[in-house]
Structure 1
Amino acid sequence: MLKKAGIAIGLLSVLTGYLIHHPIPAKVPDPWLFQILTDVLAFSELMGTISERVGINRWWAYPGRLPVPRWMNVPEGMKIEKTVFHGIESVVVTPKGFAERKIPGPAIVVYHGGGWVFGNIDSYLPLLVTAAEHTGFLVMSPEYRLAPEHIFPIPFEDCLDTTLEFMSRAKEFNVDPKRIAIAGDSAGGNLAMAVTVELVKRKIAGTLVQVPAMQALIYPKLQMTNYLLPSYAQNREFIFSKDLIPKFWLSYIGLSSQYSLAQIICENAHIDFSNKQMAEKFALVHEDRVPTRYKQRPYNATPQSIPSDVKKLLDGKTKAYLNKMMLDERIAPLFASNKTLLHLPYTHVLVCEYDPLRDDGIILFERLQSLGKESSLQHLPNSLHAAASIGPFDKNLYHAKQNKILFEKVRDYLNNMH
């Protein structure tokens, strides 16, 4: 009996390993760590797929939804403290000697990634500590509420409101409110630019508000319209399923009961081109906006056929709602007008070659460059999505060195402000 049980457990383990093992590109730096991260997320997605089919929250098994153990070494003298801004629990990381500065210093507000549905400040502490260590700046990160329990605009408003209160209370933390950068990765990068765009628009309208001195966007998700950009078509095999990213967005906008719409969205069949505004905005994210050098790897961006029973799900009311959400600059900050972009602060964008979100960041950078705005691009030629999360494991890793480059960009820019 025990022998049979052992065989059954062994076979189940092999089957589970087969189902969750997900190949990564051969040239990816720090491959063993990336493979572990990829397989962990693949297991989370396997659990999510099963959960979705039985009608429960598909995101429960993702990192941050499940407890994540702390594993990083905190530098001597660095303080990690929990506090509250605008009713939202937040973490403040203060490097040694920062509180004793005679002149208030810069700070970075960081919004964690996770598709608006998973992740938390505890799981991101290693990256927050890394940011504080490389810059010498205070770092604040809010525990914004997650979808699908808290749909748009709640996560956005949590980030905006906590940031505004932090800015207003900057002197309490010996921070110069005029030297605060906003940063975030993936969905956090979306929230970072969305908050910056909102503050810029308020300032243009005459509201007395402080605009961030800089934004650092790490493989950000900036638009919800074109899912057939070259980076999506080239890198579908590295995201477990092609409809995963649309499912994040559907959760964010309150359509978690209609995940089948993701099949429509990933073929761009959700776009209402009869809407003049939508047609104009789509031009901002057309694949022609992506430089030729990023199209060298083969890809097929031809929309695939959608089953008729799935097509029926996109009725007129649902399509109108999707297009309304797509045009909202608090969700799709890449659709901000040139007038708004001309008032953005210095923007640093990090993108990874083997990442479906690569082209969102590249299109933003190219657009800022065409407008003459101060901006910079950090392109990791062989890396996958979530690269920044790999770096904190070991200072000798390639991605640790890339994180250092990123945060030193922030450090040098804010230190040189006059």
Structure 2
Amino acid sequence: MVFFYILLVILLVIFTASFILRPGEGRRGVSLTAPASPEAAAGCPRGGRPPLSRTLLPLFEQGKILEKAGVCSQIAFTRYLQSGRKLGPDPQLWLQDARFAGVPVRVYRPRAPSAGLRAGAIFFHGGGWLYCSIDSHEKICRYIARESESVVVSVGYRLAPENKYPAAYEDCLNATIHFMKNIEHYGVDAARIIVCGDSAGGNLAAAVSQTLAGGSDLPKLRAQILIYPGLQAVDFNLPSYQQNQGVPLLIRKHAAFFALQYLNGDALHMQEVLEGSHIPPDMRLKYRKWVSPDNIPEKFKARGYKPHKPREFKAEVFEKVKRLCEPNLCPLLVEDAVVQQLPESFILTCEYDVLRDDGLLYKKRLEDNGVRVTWYHLEDGFHGIIGLHDYRGLSFPAGKRGLDRIVKFIKGL
């Protein structure tokens, strides 16, 4: 029976992959250019299911078959699908694997001589705190290091659910502090140190930036770069969560699933969190000034939004998930006194992304507190598109546009 399940999954993977890379396309490359309509931009044609949903998401769901068969967990299977392969040498970069404060890192340094010290970017990969690795984000880090002529350090933090919150945050913080204390070994300018991350990595970058904001014994961060970050777990019914609830690569229920796996190592209360019954009324009222659809510009509600009334508060659920309200896990909930000390910021959001409004809300908080923000919005982008700028034969021009804007921001510091 186990053999049958394994064979079935292999066939499903091959079948699904045939829709992603048809014969010959893996050799030539497939360029997915800007579509003619907003629906097509998200991969959501009118009256049909999103093409990406029919291809990429089933790959992740197939892990359930192996889990039920007792072969491996769904998380382990998805990690296998998302694991990147280590690339060969780069003619323009020196690569070095090391450990910073016990945390595995990979350092990317331009080979070309520099007239002065370089900018240094500490990069935290995305993957919902559960998935991905240094290798999975290798192309992104190489691209940033090459094009911005900066030193990039990619951090291989511990993953949930084996390592629950705050393990990932602590690894990222400790690796960053180590780098800041040893920048002379890497030719980095102490006045141009940046924290950067995508998705869950953007969450970690925001949390690390907040922690370091008030310190005086380390160099000040020059900037933070937050790429479609997830920044709160209070309200999963904001406009972007409603509009894009089924749009890959991150669907609404998975956003809550990842946060809970990171927090507790399970997702037992996912439905209550999605419905909003996990936050006490008094705390919800406090957070409403920061996490509210009222703070989202009206143009972002045009694709549809229905005000949501949270379900009745469940105290027993709150006791299990109350640490979701800690700023080190949900940076959008930090006090204004901390926000006012944050460095210049770059925020990238995508129209077809459940996390779009997290980025918009944080942008507003930063600007309201006098922090300079460069905001770049991909009207035809979806969650994870940066990693698909050049992925195994697929090419999404919007992903490259986003990366190029990040490079431009770094070079301008």
Q: TM-score range by the shorter chain?
A: 0.7 to 0.9
Aligned with 1:68: secondary structure?
coil
- The answer on 1:244 being equivalent to 2:242 is no
TM-score (norm 1): 0.82
- The answer on 1:223 being equivalent to 2:236 is no
| Structure 1 residue 145, shift from structure 2 partner | 0.3
Q: Call closer, same or farther: CA 1:48–1:138 in 2, change over 3 Å.
A: farther
Give the Cα separation in 1 of the matches to 2:363 and 2:107.
Answer: 30
| Structure 1 residue 300, shift from structure 2 partner | 3.3
Give the letter aligned to residue 325 of structure 2. Answer: L
Q: Call closer, same or farther: CA 1:48–1:334 in 2, change over 3 Å.
A: farther
Q: Call closer, same or farther: CA 1:242–1:101 in 2, change over 3 Å.
A: closer
Q: 2:290 aligns with which of 284, 288, 302?
A: 284
Q: Call closer, same or farther: CA 1:48–1:176 in 2, change over 3 Å.
A: farther
Aligned with 1:392: secondary structure?
coil
Give the Cα separation in 1 of the matches to 2:147 and 2:194.
Answer: 14
1:362 corresponds in structure 2 to 360
Give the letter aligned to residue 85 of structure 1. Answer: F
Q: 2:340 aligns with which of 339, 342, 348?
A: 342
Q: Deviations over 1:109-161 (max 9, x none)?
A: 10000000000001110000011112000100111000000011111000000
Give the Cα separation in 1 of the matches to 2:344 and 2:194.
Answer: 9
Q: Call closer, same or farther: CA 1:15–1:214 in 2, change over 3 Å.
A: closer
Give the Cα separation in 2 of the matches to 1:122 and 1:172.
Answer: 23
- The answer on 1:316 being equivalent to 2:329 is no
- The answer on 1:195 being equivalent to 2:204 is no
Aligned with 2:271: secondary structure?
helix
1:213 corresponds in structure 2 to 222
| Structure 1 residue 65, shift from structure 2 partner | 7.0
Give the letter aligned to residue 74 of structure 2. Answer: R
Give the Cα separation in 1 of the matches to 2:193 and 2:102.
Answer: 21
2:41 corresponds in structure 1 to 27
Give the letter aligned to residue 293 of structure 2. Answer: E
Do the aligned partners of 1:230 and 1:295 also contact (CA within 8 Å) in 2? yes
Aligned with 2:135: secondary structure?
coil
2:31 corresponds in structure 1 to none
1:153 corresponds in structure 2 to 166
Give the Cα separation in 1 of the matches to 2:70 and 2:251.
Answer: 19
Q: Deviations over 1:173-229 (max 9, x none)?
A: 11122211110000000000000001114x2xxx52333110010000001101010
| Structure 1 residue 44, shift from structure 2 partner | 1.5
Aligned with 2:390: secondary structure?
helix
Do the aligned partners of 1:233 and 1:301 also contact (CA within 8 Å) in 2? no
Q: Deviations over 1:58-103 (max 9, x none)?
A: 31122467643346x8652311210110011110011122xx4353
Do the aligned partners of 1:168 and 1:177 also contact (CA within 8 Å) in 2? no
Give the Cα separation in 1 of the matches to 2:287 and 2:310.
Answer: 23
Give the letter aligned to residue 39 of structure 1. Answer: T
Give the Cα separation in 2 of the matches to 1:389 and 1:285.
Answer: 28
Aligned with 2:332: secondary structure?
helix
Identity %: 25
Give the Cα separation in 2 of the matches to 1:235 and 1:183.
Answer: 25
Q: Deviations over 1:214-247 (max 9, x none)?
A: 0010000001101010000000121475421111
Give the Cα separation in 1 of the matches to 2:66 and 2:268.
Answer: 14
1:51 corresponds in structure 2 to 67
| Structure 1 residue 9, shift from structure 2 partner | 7.4
Which sections of structure 1, spanning at least 5 residues, go unmatched? 306-310, 414-418
Give the Cα separation in 2 of the matches to 1:389 and 1:317.
Answer: 39
Q: Call closer, same or farther: CA 1:367–1:66 in 2, change over 3 Å.
A: closer
2:195 corresponds in structure 1 to 182
Do the aligned partners of 1:48 and 1:60 also contact (CA within 8 Å) in 2? no
| Structure 1 residue 318, shift from structure 2 partner | 3.6
More off after superposition, 137-146 vs 102-111:
102-111
Taking the TM superposition and a 5 Å limit, the aligned residue runs for 1:40-119 are: 40-48=56-64, 51=67, 57-63=73-79, 67-70=83-86, 75-97=90-112, 100-119=113-132
Aligned with 2:173: secondary structure?
helix
Aligned with 1:149: secondary structure?
coil
Do the aligned partners of 1:222 and 1:332 also contact (CA within 8 Å) in 2? yes
- The answer on 1:167 being equivalent to 2:167 is no
Give the letter aligned to residue 290 of structure 1. Answer: I
1:391 corresponds in structure 2 to 389
Q: Call closer, same or farther: CA 1:17–1:124 in 2, change over 3 Å.
A: closer
| Structure 1 residue 368, shift from structure 2 partner | 1.8
Give the Cα separation in 2 of the matches to 1:142 and 1:300.
Answer: 39
| Structure 1 residue 277, shift from structure 2 partner | 4.1
Give the letter aligned to residue 271 of structure 1. Answer: I
Which sections of structure 2, spanning at least 5 residues, go unmatched? 21-37
- The answer on 1:232 being equivalent to 2:241 is yes
Do the aligned partners of 2:97 and 2:106 also contact (CA within 8 Å) in 1? yes
More off after superposition, 169-178 vs 221-230:
169-178
Q: Call closer, same or farther: CA 1:208–1:383 in 2, change over 3 Å.
A: same
1:308 corresponds in structure 2 to none
Q: Deviations over 1:8-27 (max 9, x none)?
A: 979x6599749x99xx9412
Note the aligned Cα RMSD (angstroms).
3.3
